[in-house]
Amino acid sequence: MNRTTRTISKALTITALGVAAMMLAGCSAAAGAAPNDDAEASTSPAAELRLGYFANVTHAPAIVGLEEVLLQDALGDTELTTSVFNAGPAAIEALSAGAIDATYIGPNPSINTFIQSGGQSAHIVAGAATGGAALVVRDGIDSADDLEGTTLATPQLGNTQDVALRAWLADEGFETDTQGGGDVHITPTENAQTLTLFQQGEVDGAWLPEPWVSRLIVDAGAHVLVDEAELWDDGAFPTTVLLVRAEFLAEHPETVKALLEGHEASIAWLADNADQAADVINAGIEAETGKPLDDAVIDRALEHVVFSVDPHAETFADLVANGLEAGTQKDGSIDGLFDLRILNELREEAGEEPVSAGGLGEE
């Protein structure tokens, strides 16, 4: 199998203080202006597309797109290079610095960069995955009442699971802060390290995406305290979206269209090849982490994730409220966050129903 050229980021984990500083300072609008329909500048296919993603089951459309060469096939002569991240804030830092052009990422970091840049940094062009996140804990913790004084991990300060945990704890009456203080201590930690710390008894649980939820359950004896799907109507909440730097979208819409063609092909492949999905996703995870997941882990993980191009824009007002309550984002408007025009153009060509931007952008 021919594999896409991959550029692996070596310093992917940002310290909590570094991320906090980035959040307070905001992302520079120089990362890219929002697309302007009236602009007369010519556009052209990009020579290269630099794509970010995580080695997570919730990023399976990216992994399948690479393993099955669906993304590169759609991009044609545009060279595809990739960077692998541990969590959203690190990917946003790379996107804001112009080091990558697009990334698979959680919704909350997408919201953060859009608000902090005054709507100038990036746009969500499609959904990728829903579900697949939960709070898992050690024996002896059977209800929210048992959490006072415990230490819980999240992938990174301000990432989607970090915000979900902080918002849920607030609803349960607990105080937390971004320095790890409060009634429940939250320690943003790289996912693999969280597994080790949980096995050593150094953390009491974690709010994580798949496959890390299933890894803590299967490999370390954790159990689910809160399945995030239970907190949303119909159990549908966005875990992963496809975010594109605004400047790149404005300058290279043809390339973004090709990327979306490959993205849709990956999601269709996942729907049509359920019997092969675990093996292909596992091959991609092993390529980036050096070790495949146990069959029990990946099988359980896939039971809790749905892959779809719908970003569930209707949930984003609640996600903003959660981020504000968690203290991990600034207040601001997300009007214009979505640009689903190219996606819906492709869907119209295929005779499919359009995807809604929920009044928060173009569709």
- Model pLDDT, residue 87: 87
Predicted TM-score (pTM) of the model is: 0.86
- Model pLDDT, residue 41: 52
- Model pLDDT, residue 327: 87
Euclidean distance between CA atoms 100 and 12, whole angstroms: 13
Q: Is 147 exposed, middle or buried (0-12, 13-18, 19+ CB in 10 A)?
A: buried
- Model pLDDT, residue 302: 97
Per-residue pLDDT of the chain (363 residues; tens, 9 = 90+): 333 433 333 333 333 333 333 333 333 333 334 444 444 457 889 999 999 999 999 999 999 999 999 999 999 999 999 999 988 989 999 999 999 999 999 999 999 999 999 999 999 999 999 999 999 999 999 999 999 999 999 999 999 999 999 999 999 999 999 999 999 999 999 999 999 999 999 999 999 999 999 999 999 999 999 999 999 988 889 999 999 999 999 999 999 999 999 999 999 999 999 999 999 999 999 999 999 999 999 999 999 999 999 999 999 999 999 999 888 888 999 999 999 999 999 999 999 999 999 999 999
Is the Cβ–Cβ distance between 130 and 183 less than 8 Å?
no
Is the Cβ–Cβ distance between 157 and 328 less than 8 Å?
yes
- Model pLDDT, residue 234: 83
